[in-house]
Amino acid sequence: MAEAVESGARRGEATRQAIELAAIDLFAELGYNATSMRQIAASAGIRPAAIYHWFPSKEAILTQLQDDFMDRLEEAVDAAVAGESTPAGELAAAVREHVVFHGLHPRAAFVTDSEIRALSPEPKARLIARRDEYEGMFRQMIERGVEAGEFEVSNPAVASYAILLQCTGVALWYDPAGELPLEVIARIHVELVLASLGARRNGTGERELKN
């Protein structure tokens, strides 16, 4: 017994995860540039030099976190959309999943969003391209909804920006210990989004408006 992590113990891959967890919390709280490798190491229970056994640089930690977040976000939203057949149904499912995912991983979401500018040109361009592609998925759902007569909106691009901004922002204010469960918050956002697009409320699987 007693495999407890002692001072100086070797933990292998567990160390890598400890580094990532420490980095996500510190980056989210202090910002990437205000966080030092020494802080990350201390929070992970190792010495600064040990980080370089797992990551080639500080920036590599950041890009790893951001790539992981985008991977899992895209996977979750793709899966949610796959079960729908109409543009309105797809968008409702995508919005719901986007909100829930951001509520479950607020720090990773925040770090991915707000630390884009901390990246050097190449990874920066890569991440921006990924987010543009993700936004394009929402815009296309809106455009298809307009063509199908399900939505009525002046400008699908502006609408997609507005939708993603308000839903992503849930990561900024949602409190797991607060009054509103995440599922309720997600449902409210689906209502707001569909209403903003002038969606008819018929057969999209939506519940009643009143609480």
Partner DNA sequence: CAGCTTCATGAACGACCGTTAGGCTAGTGC
Partner DNA sequence: GCACTAGCCTAACGGTCGTTCATGAAGCTG
Interface with DNA includes 64 (CB under 7 A)?
A: no
User: What is residue 34's three-state secondary structure?
Assistant: coil
Binding to a second copy in span 150-169, by CB under 8 A: 152-155, 158-159, 161-163, 165-169
Q: Which two tokens stand for residue 70?
A: 């985008």
Q: CA separation (Å) from 82 to 68, 97, 100, 164?
A: 21, 12, 17, 19
Would you give the DSSP letter of residue 119? S
Q: Would you say 14 or 30 has its CB closer to a second copy?
A: 30
Name which position in 37, 50, 146, 188 contacts a second copy (CB under 8 A): 188
Q: Give which of 187, 195, 191 is closest to 97, Cα–Cα.
A: 187
Distance CA 85, CA 78 (A): 13
Q: CA–CA separation, 40 vs 92, rounded Å?
A: 39
Among 21, 31, 37, 64, the residue binding DNA under the rule CB under 7 A is 37
Q: Which stretch binds a second copy (CB under 8 A): 8-16, 43-51, 122-130, 179-187?
A: 179-187
| 136 binds a second copy, rule: CB under 8 A | no
The residue among 51 and 153 lying less far from DNA, judged by its C-beta, is: 51
- Beta carbon nearer to DNA, 3 or 175: 3
Measured between alpha carbons, how far apart are the two ends of the chain, in Å? 52
Name residues contacting a second copy, limited to 24-43 (CB under 8 A): 29-31, 33-34
Residue 118 DSSP class: G
Q: Choose the one of a second copy, DNA, none that binds residue 125, judging by a C-beta under 5 to 8 angstroms depending on kind.
A: none
| 32 CB-near residues (< 8 Å, 6+ apart) | 62, 111, 115, 118
Name the one range near DNA by CB under 7 A: 38-46, 142-150, 167-175, 192-200. Answer: 38-46
User: Quick check: 39 binds DNA (CB under 7 A)?
Assistant: yes
Question: What b/e readout covers 58-76, taking b as 16+ CB neighbours within 10 angstroms?
Answer: beebbbbbbeebbeebeeb
Residues that bind a second copy (CB under 8 A): 29-31, 33-34, 114, 117-118, 152-155, 158-159, 161-163, 165-170, 172-173, 180, 185, 187-189, 191-193, 195-198, 209-211
